[in-house]
Structure 1
């Protein structure tokens, strides 16, 4: 009798495009500008992405375009959290507040936001989207990222 081996990785084949955005805007302002320039309808989800048992949370906006079978997500890559830490100098200990920074995708620490485009029919023109993003004056730069090469690509499954 022959043995058959199934690999779990074969079952998950989510094809999506990933665009990195560098800008200093708040998440709601960037979502508004993307809605205007790309003719989207991004809305904030009721729950943020939480990782490592509430250590960090990332804002996420979503729009499901049913007519074109495309789901758009705008997700923050940076979470800044203020934590208390003990600081000791000799005999005395004091509590200080320290600002810690967490990243959704640690390989791209300088990226502020990611746009994830999940399209079933592969009809989204990525070059056209990048051109429109470059025309937004508040965005410093944007570029395409290959999600297959990411070590932390599991963080982008939502």
Structure 2
């Protein structure tokens, strides 16, 4: 009798492109500028990506857009979550910030643009060129998904 095995990596093959964006903009302002320059229609998703690490919960905002012409889905995902905690010490209030990253090995990336569906490399390169023309964007570039240790955090 023949024995068949399944490799879990066959199901987790990256069928999406990932673009890293460096900017000082807030997520809603970035979504607005992407809509303006890329002619997209990003809107705030009804959910956030939430994780609990070391008894600390973090939330990463998500904006989504569906391109029905080219049959692909776009997601703008924050990579940074900043938690401000207020503490009282001897009559004074002090605040401490705790910053966590969705993808810790890409700490300098502020946002990820995830594109799922039908696309080719030329489409991604043109998208990056258009993003880099936005004056408030420091830089953007393609990220090799296979090189990320925590790429599972981007599957939703």
TM-score (norm 1): 0.86
Gaps of 5+ in 1: none
CA pair 130-72 structure 1, distance change in 2 beyond 3 A: same
Residue of structure 2 equivalent to 1:21: 21
The Cα shift of 1:61 comes to 0.2
Residue of structure 2 equivalent to 1:112: 110
Q: Deviations over 1:3-23 (max 9, x none)?
A: 222222212334111110110
Gaps of 5+ in 2: none
Q: 2:98 aligns with which of 89, 97, 100?
A: 100
Measured in 1, the distance between the counterparts of 2:62 and 2:128 equals: 20
Measured in 1, the distance between the counterparts of 2:126 and 2:110 equals: 21
Q: For the pair shown, which has the larger CA radius of gyration, 1 or 2?
A: 1
Q: 1:72 aligns with which of 74, 86, 94?
A: 74
Contact 2:83 2:97 in 1 (8 A): yes
Query: RMSD between aligned alpha carbons?
Result: 2.3
Alignment length (residue pairs): 153
Q: Does 1:140 align with 2:145?
A: no
Q: Mean alpha-carbon deviation: is it higher for 57-66 or for 114-123?
A: 114-123
Residue of structure 2 equivalent to 1:155: 153
The Cα shift of 1:127 comes to 1.3
Q: Equivalent residue of 2:46, what SS?
A: coil
Contact 2:14 2:146 in 1 (8 A): no
